[in-house]
Amino acid sequence: MKIREIDRKVMCALSRNIDLSIKELSEKIGMNYWTLYKTVEKLKSAGIIREVAIPNFKFLNYEIFVAGYGNLTKKRIHELWKLRDSGEFKEYSPLIFYGIAESYRGFVFGIAKNYTNVKKTIISAEKIIRLREIINSNEINLAFLPLGLASVPVLFDYSGILCRKIGMRNLRPLKVPDKKPRRNLTERDKMAMLSIVENPEISLSDLSERLGVTIQTASKIKKRLFYEGWLIRRIIPDLQILGYEVMVFAHWHFDPKKAELMGDIKSNTQEFDVDISNITFLAYDLLEGIALAAFHTLKESREIISFFEKLGEGTGILASEPEIIFLSLQEGIKIKDHSYAGIIRDMLRS
């Protein structure tokens, strides 16, 4: 499907205003309701965009954000390909929700309640799929960001990518709710979260049937979960269809004294005249940081190196050279792709 100018405008507007209804969005951007509705439906049916509902990890009492990355061994890489379509991976890694790998390298994102939780997951993986035969044990790296201390200014926000070609760059990222609501979740709330995470566009009639409540009650529960910040909406585009070929994962360490003085990393980088609107995920604390960025070509992806060079030279904030992994979106596979249901099921069991 050819991406038209109107498609780009709709994707941009939708990604920046995901909480608005089609009617509200049409009024905000001055587009005919039916034109907007048909365009959104066409983009979704063609698989160009999809909506996901991301649980607010901090609100659900998970304490650590974990990124694991490293080199893979050629000997067993075919086993990883098999796992992509099997149920085994889902069983031992319910708290992993995103990851990409290609022939020799890859990364995964997940959350944990504590370090013991992470260790148990690794041990389980070793038992089931002989993990250390797939991953070079000398090249396993883990980054731990305590959610109580870390800032996550960009949480899978693709609006920068979706808006940059139509003259809307350097956007403010979508906000991630930080202050936890005073009330606790009920069991019905948790079941509603699971239903919505499994199918973000579930109809109110189907949701009410699953919860055993009226449609009006189901509507109130769903609205409250998003309004209070328990669930976060995002529009996820198919990057390959949009012409992106490279996904870059970066992990770096800060000089904590200089990081504390610098404050908001993202806003302070604007003075270095480096476009970072292609960053789709960014999280950091005073010790280290993690980011994801998508690029059209390998040559273009070298911009990320320029970004870190200017950041290091301009502020002295980096304690060492960052670890950077360049992954081909064409040759790689998605180990997990915004798969959050396991997180909710884990919460229901606890």
Band of residue 36 on the pLDDT scale cut at 50, 70, 90: very high
Question: Would you state the pLDDT for residue 131?
Answer: 52
Give 278's Cβ-side CA count (13 Å radius): 22
Q: Span 72-82, mean pLDDT? A: 58
Query: What are the contacts of 342-346 at 24+ separation with CB within 8 A?
Result: 342/90, 342/93, 342/94, 342/95, 342/96, 342/97, 343/55, 343/57, 343/60, 343/62, 343/94, 343/95, 343/97, 343/111, 343/197, 344/55, 344/190, 344/193, 344/194, 344/197, 345/94, 345/194, 346/94, 346/95
Band of residue 170 on the pLDDT scale cut at 50, 70, 90: very low
For domain 1-46, the question of CATH label 1.10.10.10 is answered with: yes
Q: Which of 231, 234, 176 is nearest to 14 (CA)?
A: 234
Q: How far is CA 298 from CA 8, 106, 244, 327, in A?
A: 23, 16, 10, 9
Per cent of the chain over pLDDT 90 is: 49
Band of residue 110 on the pLDDT scale cut at 50, 70, 90: very high
What does 297-315 look like in DSSP terms, one character per residue?
SHHHHTHHHHHHHHHHHHH
What is the residue whose two structure tokens read 């360049």? 326
Cα–Cα distance measured from residue 111 to residue 148, given in angstroms and rounded to the nearest whole number: 13
323, pLDDT greater than 60: yes
Band of residue 133 on the pLDDT scale cut at 50, 70, 90: low
- Beta carbons within 8 Å of 236's beta carbon, 6+ residues apart: 49, 50, 51, 52, 156, 158, 338
Look up residue 44 and give its DSSP letter. Answer: H
Q: Span 313-329, mean pLDDT? A: 88
Q: 197: phi > 0 → left, psi -120 to 50 → alpha, else beta; which?
A: alpha
Q: Are the beta carbons of 323 and 250 closer than 8 angstroms?
A: yes
Sheet holding 151-154, edge to edge: 151-154, 279-284, 288-295, 246-253, 323-328
pLDDT in tens, 235-293: 999 999 999 999 999 999 988 877 766 555 555 555 555 567 889 999 998 899 999 99
164, pLDDT greater than 60: yes
CB atoms near residue 326 (< 10 Å):
17
Cα–Cα distance measured from residue 227 to residue 19, given in angstroms and rounded to the nearest whole number: 9
Q: Fill in the amino acid letter for 134.
A: I
More confident residue, 231 or 182: 231
- Beta carbons within 8 Å of 139's beta carbon, 6+ residues apart: 70, 71
Tell me, letter by letter, the H, E, C secondary structure of 78-135.
HHHHHHHCCCHHHHHCCCEEEEEECCCEEEEEEEECCHHHHHHHHHHHHHHHCHHHHE
pLDDT in tens, 199-228: 999 999 999 999 999 999 999 999 999 999
Q: Span 20-31, mean pLDDT? A: 92
CATH classification for the domain delimited by 64-147, as one of 3.30.70.1060, 3.40.190.10, 3.30.1490.100, 3.40.30.10 = 3.30.70.1060
pTM of the shown model: 0.87
Q: CA 140, 146, 149, 155 torsion: positive or negative?
A: positive
Each domain of the chain, given as residue ranges in start order, spans 1-46, 64-147
Taking the alpha carbons at both ends of the chain, their separation in whole angstroms is 45
Q: Is there a common fold for 1-46 and 64-147?
A: no
Q: Fill in the amino acid letter for 227.
A: Y
Sheet holding 64-71, edge to edge: 141-146, 64-71, 105-112, 96-101, 333-337
Cα–Cα distance measured from residue 74 to residue 240, given in angstroms and rounded to the nearest whole number: 25
